[in-house]
Amino acid sequence: MGTEPTNDSKLFDDLPDGAITLLQLSDSHIYADQDRCLVGINTQDSLDQVIALARQQLSTPDLLLATGDLVHDASAAGYQRIAERLSAFGCPVYCLPGNHDVPKVMQEHLNRPPLYCLPSLQRGNWSIIFLDSTIPGKPGGHLDDAQLELLSETLNRHPKHHTLITMHHHPVPVGSAWMDTMALVNPEPLFHLLEQHSQVRAVLFGHIHQEFDTKHRGIRLIGTPSTCIQFIAGQDKFGIDSKPPGYRAMVLLESGEIRTEVRLLQALPLGLDLSSGGY
């Protein structure tokens, strides 16, 4: 139920030579117990519906990005199941951790081809950098010295590659007071580095469970809905939105242009508790 497309966009059709197609899945929050629900939604079923929609609409993208909070309880069983599902796309899958993940456990199960946990990759004339913004045991994000050094070194090593930065946490407020307490706590060193490198085209993230696309200090910032529940945008207190789950499709062009759109299930999965006050 709910896997019919909400639009007939042709984002991936008639692409010029050198274009790279991406699929982003984020914040799936599955559990060891595949019958367990989050705010009334079975997160495993919800993820399966979004994957079915993406495979129907996109066929096989060049790359899949899984941007954190993949397994809510960071269980081996959860990671094993999500590994099976992501591997089925038939393309390389690049995974980074969110605040609900345990990076060491995640890497044990999601760092086997075709799944990878890498600091960066270069494809065509693009570079994609994967940053770990997690703080053990905390919901908010932080880029430590090692991550900032990784970012700086990679940008310096590939100055002629258009660059996409990915992480789990949002680096600027999104206008929801409760959500913004869990943003990146040290965005200034990040933007200081990015402003020194003109090849940076965007920062892509999850965590916020809503669509977001803006510019900050000349840098495009792109946030993506969850494959399970969505948060009400612009609301100071926790609130569950009635928007259905989805994914983001993206095209990286040789020119440095990014084309992207969010695609949602046609209907909400059964059981969603819109009155929930948190989880």
Mean pLDDT for the stretch of residues 8-31? 90
Distances (CA, A) of 30 to 53, 66, 69, 117, 248: 18, 13, 9, 19, 19
| pLDDT value, residue 276 | 82
Number of domains comprising the chain: 1
Judge whether 7 lies within some domain.
no
Residue 4 in this model has a pLDDT that exceeds 80: no
State the pLDDT confidence band at 14, using cuts at 50, 70 and 90: confident
Residue 90 in this model has a pLDDT that exceeds 70: yes
Count of residues for the chain?
Answer: 279
Mean pLDDT for the stretch of residues 155-175? 98
Judge whether 51 lies within some domain.
yes
State the pLDDT confidence band at 9, using cuts at 50, 70 and 90: low
Judge whether 275 lies within some domain.
no
Residue 6 in this model has a pLDDT that exceeds 80: no
Phi-psi region of 45 (alpha: psi -120 to 50; beta: other; left: phi over 0): alpha
Average pLDDT over the chain reads 94
| pLDDT value, residue 10 | 79
d(CA 185, CA 49): 34
Lowest mean pLDDT across 130-134, 205-209, 268-272: 268-272
Judge whether 270 lies within some domain.
no
| Segment 170-193, tens digit of pLDDT | 999 999 999 999 999 999 999 999
Question: What tokens does 45 get?
Answer: 């079923």
CATH code of the domain covering residue 177:
3.60.21.10
Name residue 172's amino acid: V
Judge whether 184 lies within some domain.
yes
The model scores a pTM over 0.85: yes
Residue 100, domain extent:
20-264
Mean pLDDT for the stretch of residues 185-205? 98
Q: Are 133 and 143 in contact (CB under 8 A)?
A: yes
| pLDDT value, residue 40 | 93
| Segment 95-151, tens digit of pLDDT | 999 999 999 999 999 999 999 999 999 999 999 999 999 999 999 999 999 999 999
Judge whether 9 lies within some domain.
no
Judge whether 3 lies within some domain.
no
Judge whether 10 lies within some domain.
no
d(CA 131, CA 129): 6
d(CA 277, CA 196): 42
Q: Are 22 and 65 in contact (CB under 8 A)?
A: yes
According to DSSP H, which parts of the chain are helical? Answer: 43-58, 76-87, 103-110, 145-157, 177-180, 187-195
